[in-house]
Structure 1
Amino acid sequence: MNDTPSSGIDGAWRLVSKRLRAEFGEDVFVSWFQGLALERVDSGVAHLSVPTRFLKTWIQTHYAERIAALFADEAADVQRVSIGVRTAAAKIAAHSRDVVVAPAPVEKTEQRFTPQLATVQRLEPNRLSGSPLDRRLTFETFLVGRSNALAFAAARQIADAKAGDPVQFNPLVIHAAVGLGKTHLLQATAHAVEAAGRRVLYLTAERFMFDFVAALKAQTALAFKDKLRAIDLLVIDDLQFLQGKTVQQEFGHTLNALLDGGQQVLIAGDRPPSELEGVDERLRSRLAGGLTLELGALDEELRARILGVRIAAAAAAHPKFAVPDEVVAYTARLITANGRDLDGAVNRLLAHNTLTGSAITIEMAETALRDLVRQVEPKRVKIEDIQRIVAKHYQVSRADVLSSRRTQNVVRPRQVAMYLSKQLTLRSLPEIGRRFGGRDHTTVLHAVRKIDQLVKTDQALLDEVELLKRMLLD
């Protein structure tokens, strides 16, 4: 369309608005274009305005060219668009002109929506809320070991940063299996940043979804976004539960805006961004552009320290509760899954001691912890599963593992797979050899002995083998 419609420039803008809604969908339109108003057209420039600086920056960066193209289709004398932030008087005028095609008004208002978003600390009533924080989860109560030292240092760096300091790792993504301390580390960071007088928002992925959907229904999405972007640190826990294309897109927009603005984002999930199924590819890519760290399995020394802290806490309430050092060491060796199982172990020892009057000995611990041990007994594992998971971990194909190739990048995965086959299955050496391309049992024996010796001195290899075991036994 090359001529301005008879209804004038406002009519052309209404047509542009309709096309924006049709092209980008109702949710995106409400989120980004509902506050966009036409001020005037002069010298081939359509002057548009928005209520906030953030909207101006975002629309200029992501949508200005498309808006200009649509406007040129509807009004021949419009060659480009200019976007500014309008004053309070201009906002009233824009509202009265009704130049944007918006959904029919509803009774809900931002004031009605705000009480649902009362802050965790019950501060200003119009401030965006977060998920509840546990005051016990601080850096002081977080026990640091070899498996979590790097993630702890990165989180501590975020907490110690001053306003205006350059952001080094953004976003910081921490992933771990359940019970290894990722929520503790996130909440500790949130507490420390808040204590330093900086603005922080801690949300679970589910809470983010709930608040965003509620904002859309209440037509307060713009206020929701502005509050999100007014913070210094955004903390998102359990990212794997972020579902829905629209919600993921809006989270991606929020993430981009915060990163572009130099604000820190800290995220946790149960797996690295590249393995988050059901999450938008662009969002995964942006997350992977930061720093991703894993909280590894708790080593025996750290498990013993955790047990010591839990036992001391129990003894504060039950003064007669005392666990000998040899029982602590035994329990730390026995319970290897995660910190929650360690909590369960202390509770069982306490129950047997206080309810039956039994002295805490190794024999008593064996009885008290029997059910926990059963939970982590190896399940039946197939050799085919071992080959598949080992191949994926080392980024080779299963065919490579079964082949006769002797390059180092194939030999090591093959030996590890044979070692795990001997460790986790009841298959004989000849049977394992047949499953690995018809190899002789002596080849399997050599591989098993080789890896068995290496894990005693090579900590990195030991960590890899333990990780593969957990993947196969979970």
Structure 2
Amino acid sequence: MTTAEIEPAQDQRWGRVKARLRSELGEDVYSSWFARIMFESSKASVVQLSVPTPFIRQWVQNHYGDRIMQLWEKETSEVRRIEFVVRSAVRQPCSADRPSPATPKARAAAAPRTTTPAPSMTTPAPRVADDAGSALDGSPLDPRFTLDSFEEGPSNMLALAAAKRVAMAPSGEKAAFNPLFIHGAVGYGKTHLLQAVAAEARERAPRRVLYLTAEHFMYRFVVALRNQTALAFKELLRDIDLLLIDDLQFLHGGKVQEEFCHTLNSLVDGARQVVIAADRPAGELDGLEQRVRSRIGGGLSVEIGAPDLDLRTKILTRRIAAQTAAFPELEFPEEVLDFVARSVTTNGRDLDGAINRLVAHNQLTGAAITLQMAEGALKDLLRAREGRRPKIEDIQRVVAQHFNVSKADLVSARRTRAVVRPRQVAMYLAKSLTPRSLPEIGRRFGGRDHTTVLHAVRKIDSLIGSDGSLKEDVETLKRLLDA
């Protein structure tokens, strides 16, 4: 096989490897790390793939290099090594290595991809030059993550409003909420929101905007220390107009946290906007230094909660529309959409995974997407949901904390209003969220009769319809127990 024949074959193999990675890892991970990796060349037993930034090269090599090699070996046993190179560093092959370009087509095939940039598939990361002429790259932005594509619901309404205020602020305007801290469990949309703010802010005004994951921040700081360019790195960060830090829970190390705290103080004191996201409230980030938590606490803290049924349905409808655009022949029955929305209640990523899995089954096997197929394809997600059912002890603990009473009060004989209502709510939740019988629930609440539990369940069920405050309490408790 000639070189001209080998290159397209290897390029097609890389396409199939990427398709498997997309199916295994999900759309979010794939878009962040693999969408912009290109097949570059193949020589003997070595395949060369190009990436847009050194950070992506480092991350993919460390976290996914072995898996990519395994998938490529399934395509062909000839490849023994895969090399990752940064596209800006890919050089034109020398004349001794390059086949004679007898035709314009051959010359085009021999040219490196850097000569003609592909149409932008991502929001460009901001770059700020340091005194050595290098640049600080932001973490990759997913072009799908925009404010328009962020589905709004009761659980994220406040966070979205605050994010829009930050993103659409005119250049030079004093920061409204600083720092803005957004927290919520995995898959609730924090990354989507931060990347959408970064993209929108850069489009609207000539501001210096930088989006970084905490891990990327640590990586760049450690590299700066190693290269003795830490001072330049600090100056670059403190010259940013809008800094967005994602996944703060992964920020570790005394020196790294100290530098982050100095950067945070400098930007906030200088009226520069900072937006931070984490998977839990700042006060619960035990690995974070107290002074960082204190500074974050001085800004606006907003929680993103679990998506309700309506929001899950809207998210699924948008995901299905995107899949239908890619596969026009795809048919996704309404009853399957409703089944997924009601069954996969955890987070947006699981919803993405459910849709990706159903579409993969359809495309790879030709099987129609039906309710029966969905039940089989998603059975592990459904089992995981059942396995996460709270225990009565969990319900008692969470209810006691919420209503500021003790767990002992809930199982005691006390009948004051301050204790009776929380006890009834706990019994109601125990009946709603666990498979336990009324007599067993009664025994766990101080040996009460099953009729007492039934009365409590009916009482709370009735009050929820007329007492908005109680309804909100119950919904909040359910979200806490489902987290």
TM-score over 0.5 (shorter chain): yes
Distance 1:379 1:150, change over 3 A: closer
Does the aligned pair in 2 maintain the 1:378–1:473 contact within 8 Å? no
Q: In structure 1, what is the Cα distance between the partners aligned to 2:423 and 2:228? A: 58
Give 2:156's aligned residue: 148
Distance 1:177 1:446, change over 3 A: same
After TM superposition, the structure 1 = structure 2 runs for residues 12-411 of structure 1, keeping only pairs within 5 Å, are 120-121=125-126, 124=129, 125-195=133-203, 196-379=205-388, 381-411=390-420
**TM-fit CA distance, 1:240:** 0.8
Distance 1:233 1:395, change over 3 A: farther
Q: Deviations over 1:294-322 (max 9, x none)?
A: 11111212211211111111112211112
**TM-fit CA distance, 1:469:** 4.1
Does the aligned pair in 1 maintain the 2:127–2:136 contact within 8 Å? no
**TM-fit CA distance, 1:473:** 5.2
Structure 2 residue matching 1:236: 3-state secondary structure: strand
Q: Percent identity?
A: 62
Give 2:52's aligned residue: none
Does the aligned pair in 2 maintain the 1:240–1:270 contact within 8 Å? yes
Structure 2 residue matching 1:377: 3-state secondary structure: helix
Paired residue type of 1:326: E
Distance 1:227 1:461, change over 3 A: farther
Does the aligned pair in 1 maintain the 2:431–2:437 contact within 8 Å? yes
Does the aligned pair in 1 maintain the 2:257–2:289 contact within 8 Å? yes
**TM-fit CA distance, 1:182:** 0.6
**TM-fit CA distance, 1:380:** 6.0
Give 1:111's aligned residue: none
Paired residue type of 1:184: H
Q: Which moved more, 1:286-295 or 1:375-384?
A: 375-384
**TM-fit CA distance, 1:233:** 0.8
**TM-fit CA distance, 1:291:** 1.0
Q: In structure 1, what is the Cα distance between the partners aligned to 2:127 and 2:268? A: 27
Q: In structure 2, what is the Cα distance between the partners aligned to 1:409 and 1:286? A: 35
Paired residue type of 1:244: G
Paired residue type of 2:401: K
Paired residue type of 1:160: M
Q: Deviations over 1:237-286 (max 9, x none)?
A: 01111112332222222211211111111010001111112212222122
Distance 1:189 1:473, change over 3 A: closer
**TM-fit CA distance, 1:218:** 3.2
**TM-fit CA distance, 1:462:** 4.9
Unaligned regions of 5+ residues in structure 1, if any? 1-114
Distance 1:425 1:335, change over 3 A: closer
Unaligned regions of 5+ residues in structure 2, if any? 1-88, 90-123
Does the aligned pair in 1 maintain the 2:198–2:209 contact within 8 Å? yes
Q: In structure 2, what is the Cα distance between the partners aligned to 1:459 and 1:296? A: 18
**TM-fit CA distance, 1:470:** 5.1
Paired residue type of 1:354: Q
Q: Tell me the TM-score normalised to structure 2 length.
A: 0.68
Distance 1:396 1:276, change over 3 A: farther
Paired residue type of 2:282: P
**TM-fit CA distance, 1:457:** 5.6
**TM-fit CA distance, 1:456:** 4.8
Give 1:51's aligned residue: none
**TM-fit CA distance, 1:464:** 4.5
Paired residue type of 1:210: Y
Distance 1:441 1:345, change over 3 A: same
Give 1:97's aligned residue: none
Q: In structure 2, what is the Cα distance between the partners aligned to 1:350 and 1:421? A: 37
Q: Which moved more, 1:216-225 or 1:270-279?
A: 216-225
Paired residue type of 1:363: Q
Distance 1:211 1:396, change over 3 A: farther
Q: In structure 1, what is the Cα distance between the partners aligned to 2:312 and 2:468? A: 17
Does the aligned pair in 2 maintain the 1:307–1:328 contact within 8 Å? yes
Matched, 1:429 2:438: yes
**TM-fit CA distance, 1:292:** 1.0
Structure 1 residue matching 2:380: 3-state secondary structure: helix
Q: Which moved more, 1:173-182 or 1:453-462?
A: 453-462
Aligned length: 357
Does the aligned pair in 2 maintain the 1:330–1:362 contact within 8 Å? yes
Q: Tell me the TM-score normalised to structure 1 length.
A: 0.69
Paired residue type of 2:250: F
**TM-fit CA distance, 1:451:** 2.5
Q: In structure 1, what is the Cα distance between the partners aligned to 2:469 and 2:347? A: 20
Does the aligned pair in 2 maintain the 1:391–1:397 contact within 8 Å? yes
Structure 1 residue matching 2:182: 3-state secondary structure: strand
Distance 1:454 1:240, change over 3 A: farther
Does the aligned pair in 1 maintain the 2:127–2:138 contact within 8 Å? no
Paired residue type of 1:145: G
**TM-fit CA distance, 1:160:** 0.8
**TM-fit CA distance, 1:152:** 0.7
